[in-house]
Amino acid sequence: MDKFKDECGVFGIFGHTEAANMTYLGLYALQHRGQESAGIAASDGERVRLSREMGYVADVFDEDALSSLPGACAIGHVRYSTAGESKLLNAQPILIDCAHGQIAICHNGNLVNAKELREELVRSGSIFQSNSDTEVILHLYARSKARQIDDAIVESVAQVQGAFSLAMLTRDRLIAVRDPHGFRPLALGRLGDAVVICSETCAMDLIGATYVRDVEPGEVLIVSADGVRSLKPFPPAPLAHCIFEHVYFARPDSYVFGRSVNEVRTDLGRVLAREQPIAADVVVPVPDSGVCAAMGYAEESGIPLRMGLIRNHYVGRTFIQPQSSIRHFGVKVKLNPVRSILEGRRVVLVDDSIVRGTTSRKIVRMVRAAGAKEVHVRISCPPTISPCYYGVDTPRKEDLIAATHTIDEIRDFLEADSVAYLSLEGLLSTVQSEHGSYCRSCYTGHYPVEFPRDEATYLQLALKLDNEAVVK
Ligand code: SF4
For residue range 85-94, list pLDDT tens digits in order: 557 888 999 9
Compute, in angstroms, the gap from residue 392 CA to the centroid of ligand 1: 7
- Rounded average pLDDT over 228-247: 93
Alpha helices of 302-453 — where are they, by DSSP H? 339-342, 358-369, 401-404, 407-414, 424-430, 441-444
- Rounded average pLDDT over 437-447: 90
- Rounded average pLDDT over 434-460: 72
Cβ neighbours of residue 442 closer than 8 Å, sequence gap 6 or more: 4, 244, 384, 385, 386, 387, 388, 394
State whether the beta carbon of 183 lies less than 6 angstroms from ligand 1.
yes
Element (H, E) at 196: strand 194-198
State whether the beta carbon of 108 lies less than 6 angstroms from ligand 1.
no
- Rounded average pLDDT over 415-436: 87
pLDDT at 170 over 90: yes
77 CB-contact burial (10 Å; exposed 0-12 / middle 13-18 / buried 19+)? buried
State whether the beta carbon of 440 lies less than 6 angstroms from ligand 1.
yes
Per-chain mean pLDDT for the chain? 89
Identify whether the C-beta of residue 9 lies closer than 8 Å to the C-beta of residue 57.
no
CA dist., res. 282 & res. 213, Å (int): 40
Compute, in angstroms, the gap from residue 179 CA to the centroid of ligand 1: 14
> Of the residues 6, 243, 352, which should be mutated to test ligand 1's pocket, given the most ligand atoms within 8 Å of the CB?
243
Tens-place pLDDT, residues 179-199: 999 999 999 999 999 999 999
Pick from 187, 217, 219: nearest CA to 204: 187
pLDDT at 471 over 50: no
Compute, in angstroms, the gap from residue 112 CA to the centroid of ligand 1: 14
Q: Does the CA dihedral 227-228-233-235 come out positive or negative? A: negative
State whether the beta carbon of 138 lies less than 6 angstroms from ligand 1.
no
Identify whether the C-beta of residue 189 lies closer than 8 Å to the C-beta of residue 160.
no
State whether the beta carbon of 243 lies less than 6 angstroms from ligand 1.
yes
Tens-place pLDDT, residues 59-89: 999 999 999 999 999 999 999 864 335 578 8
State whether the beta carbon of 428 lies less than 6 angstroms from ligand 1.
no
Identify whether the C-beta of residue 115 lies closer than 8 Å to the C-beta of residue 454.
no
pLDDT at 458 over 80: no
Compute, in angstroms, the gap from residue 205 CA to the centroid of ligand 1: 26
Q: Whose CA is nearest to atom 2 of ligand 1?
A: 442
Identify whether the C-beta of residue 231 lies closer than 8 Å to the C-beta of residue 220.
yes
Closest atom of ligand 1 relative to the 389 alpha carbon: 4
Pick from 166, 167, 182, 154: nearest CA to 242: 182
What pLDDT does residue 431 have?
A: 87
Strands (E) across 318-412 are located at 335-337, 346-351, 374-379, 392-393
Torsion of CA 251, 252, 253, 256, to 10 degrees: 70
Tell me the one-letter amino acid at 113.
N
Cβ neighbours of residue 105 closer than 8 Å, sequence gap 6 or more: 75, 92, 93, 94, 134, 137, 138, 166, 167, 168, 169
Closest atom of ligand 1 relative to the 448 alpha carbon: 6
Closest atom of ligand 1 relative to the 4 alpha carbon: 3
CA dist., res. 234 & res. 443, Å (int): 28
Radius of gyration, CA atoms only, the chain: 23
Compute, in angstroms, the gap from residue 387 CA to the centroid of ligand 1: 8
Identify whether the C-beta of residue 470 lies closer than 8 Å to the C-beta of residue 409.
no
Cβ neighbours of residue 468 closer than 8 Å, sequence gap 6 or more: none
The two beta strands, 374-379 and 346-351, are parallel
> Of the residues 111, 355, 441, 447, which should be mutated to test ligand 1's pocket, given the most ligand atoms within 8 Å of the CB?
441
Residues involved in catalysis: 8
- Rounded average pLDDT over 442-459: 71
Identify whether the C-beta of residue 458 lies closer than 8 Å to the C-beta of residue 400.
no
